[in-house]
């Protein structure tokens, strides 16, 4: 089955700096890679996603890159703000099978 | 768009009782709904996948007789934790896939279950 690894587990940055979170996956058949933001006591919120036929996608301060050959994808957040502080999960999916990384706790210091 | 609600948001029950959690897609039809469980500071663990009108598919290690899932309509799925025990205390989260979109999953706000 699919195995998703996520690094780092915790990340602390200064407001205004960039943050990068990386994930690797094992199943080459995975074709959909979403990123979720989860705040304390709430459900995950989809913030950006990418499909296997695309190498990069950007939405304002958030971007995701995908390297299918190496089976890794990354989340990039630029100009971080304190409200970006949360736990971020990557996931890899094919059909109904979505597997999550262990999560990254991002702290943005004002 | 793509809003998923859960009810209740939190529940406390006594050991041995059963608890039902509802998951609704508010503005779209969900042919497939997923139930996850999340322990503190851990990732989401898929428990089961349910398709409208058919039996749920459970992940290995998840007891189907303990975690009853019903997906009776395109907008509602329920998870019933039967004969709950303290070790069932967890954060239960559902997600739903829009009938017209094969990839995205939209998550509910979660239900905090505490069994005393």
pLDDT band at B102 (very low <50, low <70, confident <90, very high): confident
Is B49 in contact with B57 (CB distance < 8 Å)?
A: yes
Chain B residue whose CA is closest to A102:
B43
The secondary element (H helix, E strand) that includes residue A59 is strand A56-59
Residue whose tokens read 């793509």? B2
CA distance A18 to chain B (A): 24
Write the pLDDT tens digit of every residue in A21-43: 999 999 999 999 999 999 999 99
CA distance B18 to chain A (A): 23
CA distance B109 to chain A (A): 4
Instruction: Name every chain B residue with its beta carbon within 8 A of the beta carbon of A41.
Output: 110, 112
Instruction: Name every chain B residue with its beta carbon within 8 A of the beta carbon of A34.
Output: 103-105
| Among B59, B37, B45, B33, CA closest to A100 | B45
Is A104's Cβ below 8 Å from some Cβ in B? no
The tokens describing A64, both together, are 């995701």
The tokens describing A57, both together, are 């996608």
Write the pLDDT tens digit of every residue in A34-84: 999 999 999 999 999 999 888 999 999 999 999 999 999 999 999 999 999
pLDDT band at B51 (very low <50, low <70, confident <90, very high): confident
Write the pLDDT tens digit of every residue in B89-101: 999 999 999 887 8
CB A103 to CB B42 under 8 A? yes
How many Å apart are CA B75 and CA A40, to the nearest integer? 26
Best of A21, A44, A51 to disrupt the B interface by mutation (most B CBs within 10 Å)? Answer: A44
pLDDT at B62: 95
CB A46 to CB B49 under 8 A? no
The tokens describing B26, both together, are 């508010």
How many Å apart are CA B24 and CA B37, to the nearest integer? 17
Is A1's Cβ below 8 Å from some Cβ in B? no
| Among A38, A37, A31, A20, CA closest to A77 | A20
pLDDT at A94: 85
């Amino acid at each position: 089955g699919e195995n998703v690894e996520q690094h780092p587990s915790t990340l602390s940055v200064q407001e205004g700096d960039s943050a990068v979170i990386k994930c690797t996956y094992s199943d080459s058949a995975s074709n959909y890679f979403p990123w979720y933001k989860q705040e304390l006591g709430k459900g995950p919120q989809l913030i950006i996603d990418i499909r296997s036929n695309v190498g990069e996608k950007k939405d304002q301060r958030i971007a995701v890159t995908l390297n299918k050959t190496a089976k890794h994808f990354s989340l990039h957040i630029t100009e971080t703000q304190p409200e970006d502080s949360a736990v971020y999960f990557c996931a890899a999916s094919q059909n109904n099978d979505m597997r999550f990384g262990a999560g990254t706790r991002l702290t943005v210091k004002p | 768009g793509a809003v998923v609600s859960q009810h209740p948001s939190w529940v406390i029950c006594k050991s041995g009782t059963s608890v039902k959690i509802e998951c609704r897609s508010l503005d779209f039809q969900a042919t497939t709904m997923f139930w996850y469980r999340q322990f503190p500071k851990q990732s989401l663990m898929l428990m089961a996948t349910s398709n409208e009108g058919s039996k749920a598919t459970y992940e290995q290690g998840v007891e189907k007789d303990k975690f009853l899932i019903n997906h009776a309509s395109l907008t509602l799925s329920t998870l019933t934790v039967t004969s709950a025990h303290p070790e069932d205390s967890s954060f239960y989260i559902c997600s739903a896939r829009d009938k017209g979109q094969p990839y995205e999953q939209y998550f509910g706000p979660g239900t905090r279950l505490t069994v005393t």
